[in-house]
A and B are shown apart, each in its own frame.
Chain A
Amino acid sequence: MRTPLSWLAEYTDLAPGARGADVAASLVSVGLEEEDLHGGDITGPLVVGRVLELEEQVQKNGKPIRYCVVDVGQNGQMLTEGKHQEIVCGATNFEVGDLVVVVLPGAVLPGGFEISARKTYGRMSNGMICAEDEIGLGHDHEGIIVLSRLLGEERAASLSPGDDAIALLGLADETVETNVTPDRGYCFSLRGLAREYWHAQGSPEGGFRDPAAVVAPDANGDGYTVELKDDSPIDGNEGCDRYVARIVRGIDPTRQTPSWMARRLTQAGMRPISLAVDVTNYVMLAVGQPLHAFDVDRLSGSVVVRRARVGEKLTTLDDVERALNVDDLLITDGGEQPLAIAGVMGGASSEVSDTTTDVLIEAAHFDPTTVARSSRRHRLVTEASKRFERGVDPKVTAAAAQLAVDLLVEHGGGTVDPGVTDVDRTTDRVAYRLDVTEPSRIVGVDYARERVVGILRDLGCSVDEQGAGTDDRHILVTPPSWRPDLVDAPDYAEEVARIDGYNNIPSITPTPTEGRGLTHAQRARRVVADALAGFGLTEVLSYPFVAEGLADQLMLPVDDDRRQAVRLANPLSEERPLLRTSILASLVDTLRRNVARGQKDVAIYELGLVFRPGGPLGTAPIPSVATRPDADTLERLYAAVPAQPRRAGILATGQTEPAGWWGPGRAADWSDMVAAVQTVASALAVPVVVANDPGHAPWHPGRCARITLLDGTLVGHAGELHPKVVAALELPARTVAAEVDVDVLIAASAEPVQAQAFSTFPPALTDVALLVASDVAAADVESALRSGAGEALESVSLFDVYEGEHVEAGRKSLAYRLTFRATDRTLTTEEVNGFRDAAVASAASATGAVQR
């Protein structure tokens, strides 16, 4: 909401010398957020100019540039050596003869931008033709201002080159723009903002002059017939509970909007259109009541307010034909022809035009929910809908209509009909029994009873300290009609705190008891993240949005769980409508981006959630919020949310040990990925088993490790990506990857580690070389050795793998070092040999191993 200071000053006393920033600060102090400041920071000459000649040349960069000759009139010429000015302009939205806004050398535009004559695009430019944003009038920079379009043909016709554009456009007057939160619909008006500014000044006696304090005549039987026929109210609230209709006849359609009004509308960010429309907008800005002007000659029956029927259509003022929904509330002609979507936008058929002489002013009160839904449904956010959905004062209706009538009579030369329609079904607010100590209890500041009562009265509440139910602690508060947000004690507490000053609230550090620190899972996740970073991987974050074709690129089998992805109804890009089912799915983009930026050695990881619906999505219930949903409903609510396991994804390319002065480097290979997973597992002290997995996409069938817990629970996969996947995803050759189910590792590490005693006797070492078939897994050989070696075995390490000329074809040699140690004695050579032979025998029977 934009508030020109000069207009605000009509309704409240501004502090002496207050500038825009001061007014904004005052409004901020009572909780109205400052959005922007406009105007007031221009020094002229800024004048009306007429384009006399223009020559357009397309520049080398393809941009057209116009070399113009502009008549800047008497004022301008006195400042610029008495001649028409040559001005270079980059916009093309104007023609010869148009009136434009010209800033001349010596002027200073908002932001301290000093204008001087300077050479641009090869010629001298004596100033600049202005766009809206350049002079702080708006944010529009689509082209330059053409005054006939900004102010209307008629008003533009009365202007001459040289006229002062600062005064014309109200640019000397500062405008404060505030953000209006959904609970403060009344601040979408000068009336509301003036009241808040007055509160910020301490609500001095007589310091607020209510623009809605006009006397409106009571309804009589002679008014235009209005029928409220809402047969399907939403949540029991009728779509329209008040409708005031007034008619002004005989308006001279050639009459123009007075320039002061046009200027105020412009300052407030609205375009002057025609007198009737401008008056309705002006009154809306002043008191917050949206009005609509119908052309009486285009109405045939009574005004009937009803819900839309199936199949009905309406072409709205923006020339869009809209299919209406049965929940839309309509203003109709005689109950049939739709005239407007109530509180949102009028229809083209009953629009006032440049021949309209008789106008029906509608001032109505519509249900916020009804308007909000229509506005959302038709994607039509209007000045009216913004106000109605936040709540309009149901008591300002008649006054607003009267203000509009008065302005039309005064400036349009019309006569008001004696008939007054006011269908009023509004009910008065019920008083709330407020415990006057509640604000102190909620806010933490000790407010005296008198302070609480005084603030509430300043706000417009009526406070009863005598009636039934009142006592030394309780009062009866009836909120003002414009404050639908004031309902219970916390609402009143906020008002008291706000007006008393939020900065009077002290700071007391809360002191919880019995904090239990991080949970095991939270600690374990940090261990995982730190272990991966310690392993040499760099943590990154990627968006979880993936393309539909990715599952094919990853060569996932048709029945793979990872093809069951959740789909977004409104993805940012139609190319990526799915949520990832693995971390690798989104991490590949990150790897590619790094490589594209010239990084050769990239080893990255991400810890995050993946989305595994495991089937079609269920439907989450939407229970009432009045009480805690029952256990069954909550169960269904939680169960409807798809599984989201936490995973770690790892990708690497390039060298894991770089080349350097020490010699060549070592490229990242499948073993780095297995090692990374083992590093994470051992960081959490979880034993894991590695097996060859020849069939798990997207990995290379001969270079993929399946990693499980001892009980067989899958932990993850690691290895080299399938060459076809690498090609399809355009990754560097031999890219390696791993994905780990972190939740599994967390669960497996939940129990405290139980320490094993260890021996202090000397170890006995013995080596064995075993010949096995080439396709026998080393892990199987090791496991057989372990199971045969007996309790004294301390460790097994594979120190050589050999395939080649000294070994027969189809076999390989595995050399192990076995370390034995007894807990109670030093082992003898004979004992060790016996253990070794038993281990070898076990390996022989399990894997066909033969000792070399």
Chain B
Amino acid sequence: MSGPNTNYDPVEVSALDPANVDSAVQEALAAIAAAASLDDLKAVRIAHQGEKSPLALANREIGALPPSAKAEAGKRVGQARGRVGQALSARQTELEAERDERILVEERVDVTVPALRRLTGARHPIELVAQRLVDAFVGMGWEVAEGPELESEWLNFDALNLGPDHPARQMQDTFFLDPVDSGLVLRTQTSPVQIRTMLEQEPPIYIVAPGKVFRTDDLDATHTPVFHQIECLAIDKGLTMAHLRGALDAFVRIMFGEDTRTRVRANYFPFTEPSMETDFLCFACHGEETWGSAEPCRTCGGSGWIELGGSGMVNRKVLRTCGIDPDVYSGFAFGLGIERALQLRHGVQGMHEIVEGDIRFSQQFGMGA
């Protein structure tokens, strides 16, 4: 580098010659444009912007100029370095964008290969159907009641107006415990839960009782010795069969859709008087009578209606047994088999798959049915 020299003519310092500066810029711009990668650009940056680049060297020469020449030379070199810097930065951005694009392309995978690397669990649909019904009734202000599966005979039969000689008691095929005089059975219905509730709770009572029940039936397409019921009981002042029908209507709408409705007829159950049998409009064929036709409805068998189950106004004897004054309170009860609801709602044809515990059955339903 030259020392300060007042006689020095800047025009004669070749590095600061406008043409040379311009050429250095042009060379730099060409090199920048030619840089194909960020690494190239890095080399270009060192060559054209680094300490030993022509423009840096030129810049250093400025200091040796006489003050009168410094301003012009400084401006020229400064502009030149500015142009190179801008070009570098623009190319840097461009190349980074290209690289980013490329990485995304390079990192592409086939996301359709199996992704689940662990077993997936599932709930049993019987539980899900029960939960669904329970939730709907809880939403309407009812509460859930439960009781033991191994139950006293008195609560399972006698208190429900099924005395030891009642013909209806013989209809039930009961699992008795050994010794038989223990007075204990596997409950044949969820109704003892109703008795327990009425014995212990003051009306008004609005309960829904889901649970497991037992009968001595061998497993076949329509029977299983262990199955599930859900029963509803309401005890309040002024309840009538119209309220019972209203609750039944709500029940079938929840389970089978808004389009369905009920029809009712008399029946007999010891626990209730008057008693009622309910059918609901087939949700599959909407009540078109297809009986005897070439293709009768597979859901209802062609009658257009599906039997729901028994119900009625709680027998006054039962209320008295539970310490509830039948002249003050009335109430109703109804129930149905959850297996059947599952079969109807989800097209389950038989009983075996429900009870066998084959994981493929539960897994169809996931965590909510």
Contacts and interface: CB of A to CB of B under 8 A. Distances in A.
Q: Which of B119, B226, B263, B268 has the most CB of A within 10 A?
A: B119
B315 interface: yes
A299 to B, nearest CB: 31
B90 to A, nearest CB: 40
Contacts of A512: 140-142, 204, 206, 234, 236
B123 A533 contact: yes
A31 B265 contact: yes
Contact of B330 (A442, A543, A569, A619): A442
B138 A31 contact: no
B218 A572 contact: yes
Contact of B357 (A368, A490, A572, A590): A590
A618 interface: yes
Interface residues of A, number: 109
Chain B contact-residue range equals 35 or more
B107 to A, nearest CB: 17
B121 A537 contact: yes
A656 B119 contact: yes
B246 A641 contact: no
A529 B266 contact: no
A267 B114 CA distance: 65
Contact of B267 (A181, A545, A589, A599): A181
A536 B121 contact: yes
Contacts of A494: 266, 273-275
B249 A509 contact: yes
B274 A442 contact: yes
Contacts of B124: 539-541
A444 B241 contact: yes
A625 B181 contact: no
A505 B182 contact: no
Q: Which of A497, A536, A538, A641 has the most CB of B within 10 A?
A: A538
Given A31-B267, A617-B179, A660 B320 contact: no
Contact of B148 (A490, A544, A641): A641
Interface stretch (B11-19, B45-53, B72-80, B358-366): B358-366
Nearest to B215: A572
Contact of B277 (A33, A389, A593): A33
B362 A538 contact: yes
Contact of B204 (A497, A513, A589, A604): A513
A517 B315 CA distance: 28
Contacts of B320: 625-628
Contacts of A568: 175-178, 186
Contact of B122 (A31, A538, A609): A538
B126 to A, nearest CB: 6
Contacts of B113: 661
Nearest to A568: B175
Contacts of A628: 199, 320-323
A538 B121 contact: yes
Contacts of A390: 167
B165 A373 contact: yes
Interface in B67-121: 113-114, 117-121
Contacts of B226: 541, 543-544
Contacts, number: 295
Interface stretch (B23-31, B34-42, B153-161): B153-161
A469 interface: no
Nearest to A28: B265
A507 B321 CA distance: 29
B143 A516 contact: yes
Given A182-B268, A510-B247, A567-B177, A532 B170 contact: no
Nearest to A184: B268
Contacts of A589: 357
Q: Which of B181, B184, B206, B212 has the most CB of A within 10 A?
A: B184
Q: Which of B182, B263, B275 has the most CB of A within 10 A?
A: B182
A579 to B, nearest CB: 7
Contact of A518 (B138, B161, B250): B138
Contact of B241 (A31, A443, A594): A443
Given A33-B267, A628-B323, A617 B182 contact: yes
Nearest to B174: A570
A137 B27 CA distance: 111
A593 B266 contact: no
B260 to A, nearest CB: 12
Interface string A501-532: 01101111111111111110010001001101
B240 A625 contact: no
A660 B117 CA distance: 8
A837 interface: no
Interface in B281-301: none
A813 interface: no
A623 B154 CA distance: 8
Contact of A513 (B120, B141, B240, B241): B141
B306 interface: no
B59 interface: no
B315 A490 contact: yes
Given A515-B206, A526-B131, A569 B151 contact: no
B356 interface: yes
A493 B315 CA distance: 12
A626 to B, nearest CB: 7
B196 to A, nearest CB: 8
A513 B246 CA distance: 16
A662 interface: yes
A637 interface: yes
Nearest to B155: A637
Interface in A616-664: 617-623, 625-628, 634, 637, 640-642, 644, 655-658, 660-662
B213 interface: no
A301 to B, nearest CB: 31
B313 A490 contact: yes
Nearest to A586: B357
B246 A509 contact: yes
Interface string A712-745: 0000000000000000000000000000000000
Contact of A657 (B118, B144, B245): B118
A579 B143 CA distance: 30
A625 B183 contact: no
A498 interface: yes
Q: Which of B152, B168, B321 has the most CB of A within 10 A?
A: B152
A849 interface: no
A542 B357 contact: yes
A539 B218 CA distance: 23
B216 interface: yes
Interface in B231-280: 234, 236, 239-243, 245-250, 262-268, 270, 273-277
B149 interface: yes
A609 B184 CA distance: 16
A655 B118 CA distance: 9
Contact of A656 (B118, B140, B159, B264): B118
Contacts of B356: 590, 593
A369 B165 contact: yes
A621 B183 contact: yes
A507 B242 contact: yes
A534 B243 contact: no
B316 interface: yes
A617 B151 CA distance: 12
Given A503-B263, A627-B323, A656-B119, A182 B167 contact: yes
Given A441-B240, A593-B357, A657-B118, 9 more contacts: A389-B165, A490-B274, A493-B274, A497-B274, A532-B121, A537-B119, A593-B356, A626-B321, A640-B182
In order of increasing CB-CB distance, the 3 nearest A-B pairs are: A31-B266, A444-B240, A444-B242
Interface of B: 113-114, 117-124, 126-127, 131, 134, 138, 140-144, 146, 148-155, 158-159, 161, 163, 165-168, 170, 175-184, 186, 199, 204, 206, 212, 216, 218, 225-226, 234, 236, 239-243, 245-250, 262-268, 270, 273-277, 313, 315-317, 320-323, 330, 354-360, 362-363, 367
6 contacts: A182-B270, A442-B240, A540-B124, A541-B355, A644-B150, A655-B119
